[in-house]
Amino acid sequence: MTRLTKRQKEASAQPMMIPSGWMPAPTPAPTVTKIALSIDEAAESSGFSRSTLYEALAKGELRGSRRGRKVVILVEELRRWLVAMTANAEPEPPPPYRRPGPVPKVKPLNREDLNHRVTIPVRKPKP
Protein backbone atom coordinates (compact mmCIF):
# COMPACT_ATOMS: atom_id res chain seq x y z
CA MET A 1 0.00 0.00 0.00
CA THR A 2 1.50 3.31 -1.09
CA ARG A 3 1.24 6.33 1.07
CA LEU A 4 0.80 9.79 -0.41
CA THR A 5 3.19 12.53 0.60
CA LYS A 6 1.89 15.81 1.94
CA ARG A 7 2.58 17.52 -1.41
CA GLN A 8 0.66 14.83 -3.32
CA LYS A 9 -2.32 15.17 -0.98
CA GLU A 10 -2.34 18.96 -1.45
CA ALA A 11 -2.03 18.63 -5.23
CA SER A 12 -4.97 16.23 -5.43
CA ALA A 13 -7.14 18.50 -3.27
CA GLN A 14 -6.51 21.63 -5.39
CA PRO A 15 -8.69 22.40 -8.41
CA MET A 16 -7.06 21.92 -11.78
CA MET A 17 -6.10 24.81 -14.04
CA ILE A 18 -8.00 25.26 -17.30
CA PRO A 19 -7.64 28.11 -19.83
CA SER A 20 -10.68 30.04 -18.53
CA GLY A 21 -9.38 30.08 -14.95
CA TRP A 22 -9.52 27.95 -11.85
CA MET A 23 -12.26 25.40 -11.87
CA PRO A 24 -12.78 22.13 -10.07
CA ALA A 25 -12.01 19.02 -12.06
CA PRO A 26 -15.10 17.66 -13.84
CA THR A 27 -16.59 14.52 -12.43
CA PRO A 28 -17.92 12.00 -14.93
CA ALA A 29 -21.68 11.62 -14.95
CA PRO A 30 -22.88 8.20 -13.87
CA THR A 31 -24.27 6.16 -16.74
CA VAL A 32 -27.60 4.47 -16.23
CA THR A 33 -28.81 1.83 -18.63
CA LYS A 34 -32.58 1.73 -18.86
CA ILE A 35 -34.40 -1.57 -18.90
CA ALA A 36 -37.76 -0.07 -19.88
CA LEU A 37 -38.68 2.75 -22.25
CA SER A 38 -41.70 4.97 -22.65
CA ILE A 39 -43.42 5.14 -26.03
CA ASP A 40 -41.59 8.38 -26.89
CA GLU A 41 -38.20 6.91 -25.95
CA ALA A 42 -38.94 3.65 -27.81
CA ALA A 43 -39.98 5.62 -30.90
CA GLU A 44 -36.81 7.71 -30.77
CA SER A 45 -34.49 4.74 -30.27
CA SER A 46 -36.16 2.47 -32.86
CA GLY A 47 -36.81 5.08 -35.52
CA PHE A 48 -40.51 4.21 -35.77
CA SER A 49 -43.35 6.58 -35.05
CA ARG A 50 -45.43 6.44 -31.91
CA SER A 51 -48.49 5.39 -33.89
CA THR A 52 -46.59 2.43 -35.39
CA LEU A 53 -45.61 1.30 -31.89
CA TYR A 54 -49.19 1.68 -30.65
CA GLU A 55 -50.43 -0.38 -33.64
CA ALA A 56 -47.88 -3.12 -32.88
CA LEU A 57 -49.03 -3.14 -29.25
CA ALA A 58 -52.68 -3.40 -30.33
CA LYS A 59 -51.95 -6.28 -32.72
CA GLY A 60 -49.96 -8.14 -30.05
CA GLU A 61 -46.72 -8.04 -32.04
CA LEU A 62 -45.08 -5.95 -29.33
CA ARG A 63 -45.67 -6.44 -25.62
CA GLY A 64 -45.81 -3.60 -23.16
CA SER A 65 -47.24 -2.68 -19.79
CA ARG A 66 -49.54 0.17 -18.91
CA ARG A 67 -49.04 1.93 -15.61
CA GLY A 68 -51.78 4.51 -15.31
CA ARG A 69 -51.56 6.55 -18.51
CA LYS A 70 -47.98 5.58 -19.29
CA VAL A 71 -47.08 2.66 -21.55
CA VAL A 72 -43.73 1.01 -20.80
CA ILE A 73 -41.88 -1.32 -23.16
CA LEU A 74 -38.94 -3.44 -22.05
CA VAL A 75 -35.76 -2.85 -24.05
CA GLU A 76 -35.35 -6.58 -24.69
CA GLU A 77 -38.93 -6.78 -25.97
CA LEU A 78 -38.33 -3.88 -28.36
CA ARG A 79 -35.17 -5.59 -29.64
CA ARG A 80 -37.05 -8.88 -30.09
CA TRP A 81 -39.79 -7.10 -32.07
CA LEU A 82 -37.28 -5.33 -34.32
CA VAL A 83 -35.34 -8.55 -35.04
CA ALA A 84 -38.55 -10.50 -35.73
CA MET A 85 -39.81 -7.75 -38.01
CA THR A 86 -36.61 -7.65 -40.06
CA ALA A 87 -36.38 -11.47 -40.19
CA ASN A 88 -39.94 -11.77 -41.57
CA ALA A 89 -39.60 -8.95 -44.06
CA GLU A 90 -38.77 -9.93 -47.60
CA PRO A 91 -36.40 -7.63 -49.42
CA GLU A 92 -38.05 -5.54 -52.09
CA PRO A 93 -37.00 -6.48 -55.60
CA PRO A 94 -35.14 -3.78 -57.47
CA PRO A 95 -37.27 -1.79 -59.89
CA PRO A 96 -37.22 -3.11 -63.46
CA TYR A 97 -34.76 -1.48 -65.78
CA ARG A 98 -36.36 1.05 -68.03
CA ARG A 99 -34.60 2.32 -71.02
CA PRO A 100 -34.60 6.10 -71.07
CA GLY A 101 -37.04 7.53 -73.59
CA PRO A 102 -36.25 10.05 -76.27
CA VAL A 103 -35.26 13.53 -75.20
CA PRO A 104 -38.09 15.97 -75.89
CA LYS A 105 -37.33 18.57 -78.53
CA VAL A 106 -37.23 22.17 -77.42
CA LYS A 107 -38.57 24.93 -79.62
CA PRO A 108 -35.77 27.36 -80.48
CA LEU A 109 -36.22 30.97 -79.39
CA ASN A 110 -36.93 33.61 -82.00
CA ARG A 111 -35.89 37.21 -81.78
CA GLU A 112 -39.56 38.15 -81.70
CA ASP A 113 -40.06 36.03 -78.56
CA LEU A 114 -37.29 37.95 -76.81
CA ASN A 115 -38.66 41.38 -77.78
CA HIS A 116 -42.18 40.63 -76.57
CA ARG A 117 -43.29 43.16 -73.96
CA VAL A 118 -45.50 42.31 -71.07
CA THR A 119 -47.83 44.99 -69.80
CA ILE A 120 -48.71 44.95 -66.16
CA PRO A 121 -51.81 46.88 -65.13
CA VAL A 122 -51.12 49.52 -62.51
CA ARG A 123 -53.73 50.31 -59.92
CA LYS A 124 -54.59 53.91 -59.35
CA PRO A 125 -54.51 54.99 -55.73
CA LYS A 126 -57.88 55.69 -54.15
CA PRO A 127 -58.52 59.35 -53.35
Measure Cα distances from 115 to 21, 109, 110 in Å: 70, 11, 9
Are residues 25 and 11 in contact, defined by beta-carbon separation less than 8 angstroms? no
What would the mean pLDDT of 106-116 be, rounded to a whole number? 67
At residue 53, the pLDDT reads 93
- For the cut 60, the answer to whether the pLDDT of residue 35 exceeds it is yes
Number of domains in the chain: 1
74: exposed, middle or buried (Cβ count in 10 Å: 0-12, 13-18, 19+): middle
Q: How confident is the model at residue 78 (pLDDT cuts 50, 70, 90)?
A: very high
Q: Domain span at residue 70?
A: 36-88
- pLDDT-derived band at 117 (thresholds 50, 70, 90) equals low
Tell me if 125 is assigned to some domain.
no
Per-residue model confidence (pLDDT) at position 104: 73
Q: Is the pLDDT of residue 73 over 90?
A: yes
